[in-house]
Amino acid sequence: MADFSKYFLMSTDNVMEYAKEKLDMFSDDAVLQAKEIGDGNLNYVFKIWEDATGKSVIIKQAGVEARISSDFKLSTDRNRIEVEILTLEDKLCPGLVPHIYMYDPVMNCFAMEDLSDHQVMRSALLKHEQFSQFADDITTYLVNSLLLTTDRVMDSKEKKEMVKRYINPQLCADISEPLVYTEPYNDNLGRNLVFPPNADFVKKELYDDKALHLEVAKLKYDFMNNAQSLIHGDLHTGSVFIKQGSTRVMDPEFAFYGPMGYDIGNVIANMIFAWANGDATIENAEEKADYLGWIESTISNIVDLFKEKFLKAYGANVTEPMSKTPEYRDYFLDTVLTDTAGVAGLEMNRRTVGMAQVKDLTTIPDEAKRVRAERIVILCAKDFIMNRTQYKTGKDYIDKLKSVAAEI
């Protein structure tokens, strides 16, 4: 029998023992099965189930180094942050995050609702599936989780305590800041993964563009210093579980107090990756038009529904006296939209040339089509960054995406 009073990285055999000992869900004589299902860059995720009763659970354990690279030595406190964030978001955004059953600070793991009837959204989009509820669900999540954790709504002292509680220096300083805001523009650590046929293009458009570097530097400073709201910090389609009629946001281990636009921009960027994949891989013209049309309307709706819900929630929830000034509401929303466009561009660049890439692009089998897809992404991304004050509606993003695609 394993000793769970001291931390160690569990195997599937260990995790079955653990589930029986630590959870009320299974009896001591239950016949369990388990498999490791994690496909992310950091953690180990186990599904444990009992065929006789149909009961199942997910246990997620934090390792002391990232799965993506042993270069990243990580604090396992990220699991504590994730559990507390999901518990809070279950109150702010009911039905849009998984339910947490327990947290174990010794084994640095937690148990949560099994969502096996859902699928990872990125995987679904790679099969070119469509989900009509996504824009509505994700914008409700974004408005509730972001606006309601600002000091426009919360008591200022309470918010400052939360900033302190959810400071996440290791994941921010060791991962987000270099991978998102630095390496895609200079490859200073030699870790970028540039598709060879695009090497000269990347050098010209990303490494040698000093005007771009200036705008990225501004955005990086904002990310490091603007403790605006409690953000997810890694909100891509691999962090969303989905099925028809249901959306659940997962994996907020990168959560900290940062700029609201970081989460919104990440969502938009990852939908553009899905568009680029569909454009490159769907052969039937009618099917391509239908799928790309859905992606385009989803991107538009994410921006426009966010604005609509934000303004409504702002009026209903803001308590800070000076923030109730009518013109300030519009000013605040405008700054969020500007940050959103900049971050969308940052995410698009780093997932195209950085070390943590997306299957939407890397699985495009035709070399020429992948070259084209990556160039569309990078050129759109640059415009989102350089002209971020101009992106105020969903149509603004779609117009740029279509114009760039038409030129390449």
Average pLDDT, the chain: 94
Tokens of 395: 């149509």
The mean pLDDT value for 374-389 works out to: 98
Domains present along the chain, CATH in parentheses: 12-112 (3.30.200.20), 119-407 (3.90.1200.10)
The dihedral through the CA atoms of 296, 297, 298, 301 has a sign that is positive
Label residue 343 left, alpha or beta by phi (over 0 means left) and psi (-120 to 50 means alpha). alpha
Look at 60-64, 104-108, 289-293, 315-319 and tell me which has the smallest mean pLDDT. 60-64
Region of poorest pLDDT, from 64-68, 230-234, 317-321, 348-352: 64-68
Helix (H, G, I), strand (E, B) or coil at 44: strand
DSSP conformational letter for 64: S
Closest among 20, 23, 30, 21 to 53, alpha carbons compared = 30
Q: What is the pLDDT of residues 26-36, one digit of tens each?
A: 988 899 999 99
Indicate whether 66 pLDDT > 80: no
372/395 Cα distance (integer angstroms):
22
In the predicted structure, residue 229 carries a pLDDT above the cut 80 = yes
With vertex at residue 203, the alpha carbon angle to CA 199 and CA 209, rounded to the nearest 5 degrees, is 155
pLDDT at 173: 78
- Per-residue pLDDT at 70 exceeds 80: no
Distance CA 407, CA 369 (A): 14
Please tell me the pTM assigned to this model.
Answer: 0.92
**Over residues 102-125, mean pLDDT:** 95
Contact 336, 231 (CB under 8 A): no
Lowest mean pLDDT among 30-44, 301-315, 352-366: 30-44
Listed residue (181, 195, 234) closest to 361, CA to CA? 195
Proportion of the chain above pLDDT 70, given as a percent: 97
